[in-house]
Amino acid sequence: MQPIYLDYNATTPVDPAVAEAMQPYILHHYGNPSSTHAYGRATKEAVESARARVAALLGCAAPEVVFTSGGSESNNTVLKGVASTYRHRGHHIITSAIEHPATINPCRFLEQQGLQVTYLPVDRTGMVDPDDVRKAITPQTLLISIMHANNEVGTLQPIAEISRIARAHGVLMHTDAAQSVGKIPTLVDALGVDFLSIAGHKLYAPKGIGALYMRTGCTLEPLIHGAGHEAGRRAGTENIIFAVGLGKACEVAQADLPRYQREVRQLRDLFWQEIEKRFGDRVVLNGHPEQRLPNTLHVNFRDVIGAELLEKMPALAASTGSACHAGEISLSSVLEAMHIPPELGMGAVRFSLGRYTTRQEIEQAVGLLEQVF
């Protein structure tokens, strides 16, 4: 039997409808979208149809969507592109201490190039205080980049409020929405962002495809130079097969969003209730109790090491927020930023549910935890 999969924040399986949509472009439609003959027109139409489906999920215009290789490229494009394109206006970027490495590491690189980066703190629930954003803005600030939902603890950031602050100061706003797209509404006008990053493999599309929303009027120096693909914003012949897959994944996610939010939250809450009932004060919830992704349950198990706990349960696939090397416990940067005490954080485990999680699997997972803890 396959292990129970509760690691959907790490990656998702490809939805069968997505795989089916991709098949004709694997086997039959192989033309270059830049070609003007029938073969090229067929694939060009497929790419543009996929772009429209991504745009529909985000509530934006199709030309505002740029296909990329994934969330990391989308984040790098924004951070490095803003730093390059608008360097005449300033040299300061604001982000948070709990961002994904796909944001943190480009920021570290830009610091080496002479830019100043402010890494905002978060509270015990993993949330950024908008007042801290306001206080951090200077006349040199070019960009604020705050993730929509944290990949580890699931906390949702007040992006709309932060965007209003950014706009009031004439600062560009980016959000890494890799974890939130397809799980909660991510309408760009409601969020008020100028840029938004998507990772396909977080919403049942293949790995190696992503997208970047760029609000009309925003221009960036491309991360990848070459021919004029993607309206000159990202060179390289389009990945037709995976773009079609991402488009279909967005279409499915948009149709399924109300059901997904309702049913996966019910399963997650059931899981937490059963864990609390059995383990009481030996478990502690991480992340915001309410402003959190509906599928994410991140807990600390007291007096154990999370990695060792999972090793004892090969029938359950989940993630840990701590690591043990040579007898020393190290916490993830997210837990450290949240000021989780090491003696508590060492027992961190992230369970992330998804489209295919069942009640039976949750009940079985609780039983496995009872056996080893």
- Domain end call among 190, 224, 253: 253
The reply to whether 265 and 243 lie within a common domain is: no
Looking up residue 296, the CATH number of its domain turns out to be 3.90.1150.10
- Tell which of 218, 253, 288 closes a domain: 253
pLDDT for 228 equals: 86
Residues 39 and 136 in one domain: yes
Residue with tokens 């830019």: 115
* Side chain identity, residue 171: V
pTM given for the model: 0.96
Residue 188 near residue 59 (C-beta atoms within 8 A): yes
pLDDT at position 331 is: 87
Q: Which of 203, 219, 253 is the last residue of a domain?
A: 253
Residue 208 CB contacts under 8 Å (≥ 6 apart), including other chains: 69, 70, 200, 201, 239, 242
Residue 373, amino acid: F
> 205 and 265 share a domain?
no
Q: Evaluate the CA torsion angle 3, 72, 63, 258 in order and state its sign.
A: positive
Q: Is the torsion defined by CA of 93, 96, 97, 101 positive or negative?
A: negative
**Residue 152: predicted pLDDT:** 96
Asked if residue 271 and residue 149 are part of one domain, the reply reads no
How does pLDDT run across 140-193, given as a tens digit for each residue?
A: 999 999 999 999 999 999 999 999 999 999 999 999 999 999 999 999 999 999
65 and 136 fall within a common domain:
yes
Q: What is the total count of domains within the chain?
A: 2
Low-confidence ranges of the chain (pLDDT < 70): 322-329
Q: Are strands 92-96 and 141-145 parallel, antiparallel or unpaired?
A: parallel
Q: 63 and 201 share a domain?
A: yes
Say if residue 165 is in the same domain as residue 267. Answer: no
DSSP 73-136: HHHHHHHHHHHHHTTTT--EEEEETT--HHHHHHHHHHHHTT-EEEEE---TTS---HHHHHHH
Q: Give tens-digit pLDDT for 179-232.
A: 999 999 999 999 999 999 999 999 999 999 999 999 999 999 999 999 989 998
| Same domain membership, residue 172 and residue 157 | yes
User: Do 289 and 315 lie in a common domain?
Assistant: yes
Q: Can you tell me whether residue 68 is helix, strand or coil?
A: strand
Residues 172 and 321 in one domain: no
**Which domain does 322 fall in, by range?**
4-10+257-372
Q: What is the pLDDT of residue 142?
A: 98
Catalytic residue among 107, 218, 250, 324: 324
What CATH number has the domain bearing residue 244?
A: 3.40.640.10
Do both 238 and 263 map to the same domain?
no
pLDDT at 46: 97
Is 244 in the same domain as 269?
no
| 324 a catalytic residue | yes
